[in-house]
Structure 1
Amino acid sequence: MRSFTRARTALAACLLAGALALTGCSVLGEESDGSSQTGQQDRAGADAGAGSEADVPYDVVPLLKPGKKYFGAAVDGAPYSMKGVDTYTKMVGKQPNLIEYYAGWGDGFDATGVRNAWGEGAMTLMSWEPFDTPVADIAAGKSDAYIKEYATAVRKLNLPVVISFADEFNGHWEKWGTRNVTPKDYVAAWRRIHETFIDVGASNVIWAWSPNIVNPVKSVKLKPYYPGDAYVDWVGLIGYWTIEEDSAFDSLFGATRDQVRTFTKKPMILLETAAMAGERRRADIRNLFAGVSADDDMLGFVWFNHKKRADWRLEASPLALKEFKRLAADDSFGFDVRKP
């Protein structure tokens, strides 16, 4: 397995020097199809050092650990349609700047949705779910043609995107979870996907490695599933406040955070979270905002505003929604991702 660093900050110098053998600069000669123009208009100087080089990938470095927190949401229909996001924005009083959506392995790249979100100052976060394809087959190269086609589409659009492959892998409830996938195959599949993206020059991706919180699966250790710092940008924690969990932020996320910190110092984000409707919801929401604010390495959160297994929608609890709106007004949450 090849070893490399991403070296995005040196990308422009790499191109000018002709050092195309460096990782992240190996293949940059593809023609722009015009779809990247939307992103080019809003780059806020990201390509200032690249002159008129249309083939320079979008520099995601300023988005890896920005000065303010991500204020994310997952809502019905987004990002292909932003109507739900607009409704959510009016409801909570602030525009989300990270829009999570879910895509099945084998789906095409939703370039339209990425453009739609970007047009409203938001980046997309795709949870890529291999429901019908064994992870071992991906690791063995049986999906290489699909991965290359997908990566090429991402590169041609040339807007920053976040990709989380096969999240909640440490749980037994997913097809790609512990009952069906070994750590060895999971790591091999992740690295193969990542390397294919790099090979086609698609360094405009932020890679989020996303375990479920360890509380319900304490016997499953996370380190064997970690692809390595060269393949990961964010650690995306997935966890929900339920009546089975203590309300404290550290009770919910602390054990997972502490275990992850034994093998990587990559920044973290709550990739998917919400609080169960009920009397405790306001307190849970206060703990969410306070916990994210208190940790400099916690980049923000994505609120899962869906009715699935439980009603996680903020509108289901008017008093809790009022508290969420009050806390969301804090200027440290949210920013235009086009101007990080």
Structure 2
Amino acid sequence: MINYKFLLLYFLVLLESSVMAQKITSNAKLIGSIVYDAEDKGSVTVGNLSIGKFYRFSREPDTTYKDEYPNNWSDGAKLTDEVLNTGPELNTAQYVGWKGTRDLEITVDLGRIQSLEKLNVNGMASVQLNAQEPVGAAVFVKQEKNGKWVLFAKQSFANNKASTGNKPFSIEVGGPAMKARFVKVVLKPSSIGGKSGLILLDELSLLGKIKNTWRSVPAEGCFHGAFPTSVGYSKEELAGRKGMVVDLFEKQVGKQLSMVLWYQGMAKGRGFLEIQKHRENHLKKDYNGVRHLSIGWLPKELKPLATGGYDEFFTNYFKDSVDPTILKGMNEPIWIRPMNEFNGGWVPYGLDPITFKKAWRRMYNIAEQLGAASHHIFVWSPNYLSFPDKDWNKMEKYYPGDQYVDWVGISSYPPGKKAAKSEDMRYPIENIKEAYEKYAHYKPFMISEGGFSDDIDPVRWVREWFEFKTKRPNVKAVIWENHNDRVISRSPEALELYRKMVQDKYWLAN
């Protein structure tokens, strides 16, 4: 007798296996039971490839017009700092200048391979200083450090010496798009001024297409994450434990976590080994899959990060973070979230967009040089609303550039009634709307921390939290901040709903 139920089940299993195989064979990855998107899925955006990037020059600049903040991989930062002078004023601090008639070479490291389309060089001609425009420019590219230089484009220019006063100039060199990580710009000075002539440069822009990263993104579903502190549990449950209690949270909500948040001070003396011990002691115990780790990395100051005061700290940290002898086979990436909620006045590194971007880029560039940027995932994470909510403090003012951000995160908490623009904004769906609409259509997007407060409906908050599945489907990770008045056990009704809704396989756990 034919067992039709068995046959139907058999064909359904075959169909599901076929679908899974198609996902895996299309450059996707299977880790545990989670299928990850192909890393080449990231979109392409147009922009300035060289903003904040490290570069070297072939000869030292004049001491009056020297570069700023060199480090082990860079001769300075002025020429890619985004600050462009468009008027006739000559601010010595803004320019880098070279005397003489020898060709000047500036080599920019883009950090990873991008698509170059055009070069812009901005500077100043000055009669008083005998500063003149270059009369020629050539651009060479290569993809590997030890590769051979290939000509991208070259061009000659008229000797447009300033007739009186100061005259800003901009020269452009373009050609067919070429893939490059390293770009060498060769500028030929004018010979009219002789050895005393100057090239005064303001900004060097390499324009082209930026390939956005798309790493460790679930093909379907959303990472189920939490900040699992010891707050909210009885003495009997804790049995003397403090700090991270992953197992207690998982038992409480009835599902394993696929992402765990922890915090670390960005301070000298607190290195990567501290984080590695957390991974070894807490994230692997009694667990057969992968619990990804997200780090909230918090400094107590900002300017020294931008000006080189933390270079040695970053160097040691990122070296350790990719050292096989330290990782001991734990090679999955870490979601590194530096300086979050920078658009709020409650953090010591906030409310300074220009310095923040310089600090972020410098940190990320060092990570690139050491292989950490390609191994880990850097999460740029503003608060859901800027405080103060002014144009100069909008979250996008702090954005360092697509080439510096792997994922975008958001802190999602209920604003006070006075700050809320509507009652709906006090709940998740509307709360994350601004950041979601700006970034989630082309960057992997996550709730990097969030939860209810004591003056809203906790059941509604939890319901909307899980409605991201249908109403904010580009959210790829959620992290419940189980701390202070946000512990899920504070509301038995909210906890019961959480336990019920998280069972949907959409909320990923291996």
- Mapped to 2, the partners of 1:94 and 1:229 lie a distance apart of 34
Q: Which is richer in strand? A: 2
What is the DSSP-based 3-state SS (H/G/I as helix, E as strand, rest coil) of the residue aligned with 2:348?
coil
Q: Does 1:313 align with 2:456?
A: no
Change in 2 beyond 3 A, CA 1:229/1:89: same
Choose between structure 1 and 2 for higher RCO, CA contacts under 8 A separated by at least 6 residues: 1
Aligned position for 2:371: 201
Aligned position for 2:384: 213
Aligned position for 1:272: 449
Q: Does 1:123 align with 2:292?
A: yes
What is the DSSP-based 3-state SS (H/G/I as helix, E as strand, rest coil) of the residue aligned with 1:265?
coil
Aligned position for 1:47: none
Q: Does 1:258 align with 2:258?
A: no
Q: CA deviation at 1:258?
A: 3.1
Aligned position for 2:110: 4
Aligned position for 1:161: 334
Change in 2 beyond 3 A, CA 1:189/1:160: same
For residues 309-330 of structure 1, the C-alpha deviation after alignment (integer angstroms, 9 at most, x for no partner) is xx10011111110000101001
Q: CA deviation at 1:81?
A: 7.8
Q: CA deviation at 1:90?
A: 0.6
- Mapped to 1, the partners of 2:314 and 2:386 lie a distance apart of 33
Residue 108 of structure 1 aligns with an amino acid whose one-letter code is G
Residue 452 of structure 2 aligns with an amino acid whose one-letter code is A
Report sequence identity in percent.
25
Q: CA deviation at 1:201?
A: 1.3
Kindly report which structure 2 residues correspond to 1:18-97, keeping only aligned pairs within 5 A, or say none: 19=144, 63-76=216-229, 84-97=245-258
Asked whether the 8 Å contact 2:226–2:261 carries over to 1, the reply is: yes
Out of 246-255 and 232-241, give the one that drifted further: 246-255
Change in 2 beyond 3 A, CA 1:212/1:302: same
- Mapped to 2, the partners of 1:151 and 1:127 lie a distance apart of 15
Asked whether the 8 Å contact 2:263–2:298 carries over to 1, the reply is: yes
Change in 2 beyond 3 A, CA 1:280/1:292: same
Q: CA deviation at 1:267?
A: 2.0
Asked whether the 8 Å contact 2:298–2:340 carries over to 1, the reply is: yes
Aligned position for 1:50: none
Change in 2 beyond 3 A, CA 1:312/1:6: farther
- Mapped to 1, the partners of 2:219 and 2:254 lie a distance apart of 22
- Aligned equivalent of 1:283, options 455, 460, 463: 460
- Mapped to 2, the partners of 1:292 and 1:136 lie a distance apart of 40
Aligned position for 2:507: 333
- Mapped to 1, the partners of 2:459 and 2:489 lie a distance apart of 13
Residue 128 of structure 1 aligns with an amino acid whose one-letter code is W
| RMSD value, Cα | 3.0
What is the DSSP-based 3-state SS (H/G/I as helix, E as strand, rest coil) of the residue aligned with 1:169?
coil
Aligned position for 1:108: 271
Residue 329 of structure 1 aligns with an amino acid whose one-letter code is Q
Q: Which is richer in helix? A: 1
Aligned position for 2:159: none
Radius of gyration: which is bigger? 2
Could you tell me the TM-score, scaled by structure 1's length?
A: 0.75
Asked whether the 8 Å contact 2:386–2:395 carries over to 1, the reply is: no
- Mapped to 1, the partners of 2:489 and 2:429 lie a distance apart of 26
Q: CA deviation at 1:297?
A: 1.8
Asked whether the 8 Å contact 1:241–1:284 carries over to 2, the reply is: no
Could you tell me the TM-score, scaled by structure 2's length?
A: 0.51
What is the DSSP-based 3-state SS (H/G/I as helix, E as strand, rest coil) of the residue aligned with 2:377?
strand
Asked whether the 8 Å contact 2:344–2:386 carries over to 1, the reply is: no
- Give unmatched runs, 5+ long, in structure 1: 9-17, 27-59
Change in 2 beyond 3 A, CA 1:216/1:186: closer
Aligned position for 2:356: 186
Tell me the matched-pair count. 282
